[in-house]
Structure 1
Amino acid sequence: MSIISKFSSHKFLFLILTGVLVSFIAFGMLFRASSQGDSADTYPKGFRGGACTIETENLIIGYSGYYLPADFESPENTLRSPYVPVQCGNVPEPATLNISIDLLYPESARDYLLAQRLVKVDAIDNNQKEQKILSISAQQHPSGVITQAFKLNEPGQYILYLEGKNIKNTNIQVKIPIKVGSDWKDHFKKLFSTFLRKD
């Protein structure tokens, strides 16, 4: 093999490696992901062991969920659970959603009076309007776990608000995003799920 052909093959490999590196950077910028799969509003690192976390100044929660498709019909004598796990509030289709919220920090959060409010977010004339779907009055959660089930009949963006006051009477609001339905970004994320963070 001549020196020129060796140089050409090394140059070709360098171009391929450069292309791969540029692709990783482009996808990271597109989905605002780092190499560790974290995002700024989640803690720690957004997705751990089937649960996602959200951090605010006064409260850190973990949340996970399972959904049951709206058209599901339970077969007789089934041994498997029909519920499908949800990753960080992404529900692929209208469904019944069971969500579990863990009050992670501080421990005194179990004594907070926390209400729940589910809204659907609609974009009207470049403005976001919230349509209330469900409201649950404030109460304490001594177990540190809040469970709730609700039906999401339409594709779109929803927010489950956790609102109340801490023991210092400071207002608390945590927004749990829930997206129903898939778009082109979701298909790319699924295709490149090894390299991208979970929302």
Structure 2
Amino acid sequence: MSGEPRTGVVVGPDQLARPAWASVDPLLRDYYDTEWGMPVRDERGMFERLSLEAFQSGLSWATILRKRPAFRAAFAGFDPDAVAAFSEKDVVRLMDDAAIVRNRRKIAATIGNARATVEMRSDGGLGEFIWSFQPGQTPRPRTIAEVPTQSTESAALAKALRAKGFAFVGPTTMYALMEAVGIVDTHLLHSHRRGSSGVWDA
């Protein structure tokens, strides 16, 4: 691989330019190339990503991504109706599951967030609500240092979700969610993925 400090990207053997975080680990590279930043609008897809971002708090994204199949198995494929029906017995089961992140507060938050998601259906739904915080423009970072970690919109989204009963939805976590589901495009300007979502111009 050859780095290009001027543009903040690393050009891999395939001659494609990516940020350093997505240039070495095959799992992260595949996630970056095929999923990260692509639009997600459906309820289950949004609930899954909201949940995984909450579990990622304080941990590396690679850790969460490697555990994603186990999370899906443990949380009923992130079906909000199924997770909303979880009981204390399920909490005990999840706390005993070494394949996921065993954090009682995060587990309880995911169950509570599922219930809040179900409640939101009468008001347009989770996906539509989160997308309503899309900003008027997106960042145009050349380097990772220029990528924001939160924004006015992510702070407003966090506040609005907390008002609706959601937990583990701080401004930084919500900005990461907005990046992951395409609401903002923080691909570096010289990355081969810049503009790939179709939501924003490259």
Is the TM value for this pair above 0.5?
A: no
Higher helix fraction: Structure 1 or Structure 2? 2
Larger Rg: 1
TM-score (norm 2): 0.29
Higher strand fraction: Structure 1 or Structure 2? 1
Higher relative contact order (CA 8 A, sep 6+): 2
TM-score (norm 1): 0.29
